[in-house]
Amino acid sequence: NAGVTQTPKFQVLKTGQSMTLQCAQDMNHEYMSWYRQDPGMGLRLIHYSVGAGITDQGEVPNGYNVSRSTTEDFPLRLLSAAPSQTSVYFCASSPRGTGGSGANVLTFGAGSRLTVL
């Protein structure tokens, strides 16, 4: 299994440009989420989804859009990039928490480093 795959690994944007960070998982996990990691701020939740067609906002959703049309994919869209969105982005997924050793455990992608100039 590939697990959680994020693309691209690195991206440089100019202020005002838009782009999509891709996230795909092949584990049939219901729950998927996007975090950003900034020095001293830890991991902050941007958006999350508990299944296809269902998304909700996390702590820092402004400037980002998500959709969940399939179980496997959860893309994160930056509508008009700003320097404040320079960060490392992580996608994570987990199975529904119904028991078992893997329940509620997040599997993370390798990360996408975004720089906005």
Partner 1 sequence: AQSVAQPEDQVNVAEGNPLTVKCTYSVSGNPYLFWYVQYPNRGLQFLLKYITGDNLVKGSYGFEAEFNKSQTSFHLKKPSALVSDSALYFCAVRDTGGYQKVTFGTGTKLQVIP
Binding site for partner 1 (CB under 8 A): 31, 33, 35, 40-45, 48, 50, 56, 58-59, 90, 92, 94, 96-97, 103-111
Q: Identify whether the C-beta of residue 23 lies closer than 8 Å to the C-beta of residue 6.
A: yes
According to DSSP, the residues that pair with 7 across neighbouring strands are 22
Between 45 and 82, CB nearer to partner 1: 45
Q: Identify whether the C-beta of residue 33 lies closer than 8 Å to the C-beta of residue 60.
A: no
| CA contacts within 13 A on the Cβ side of 14 | 0
Shortest distance in whole angstroms from residue 43 CB to partner 1: 4
Between 92 and 116, CB nearer to partner 1: 92
d(CA 37, CA 79): 19
Shortest distance in whole angstroms from residue 29 CB to partner 1: 10
d(CA 4, CA 27): 8
Shortest distance in whole angstroms from residue 16 CB to partner 1: 29
Between 33 and 85, CB nearer to partner 1: 33
Between 41 and 79, CB nearer to partner 1: 41
Shortest distance in whole angstroms from residue 18 CB to partner 1: 25
The conformation of residue 59, written as its DSSP 8-state character, comes to S
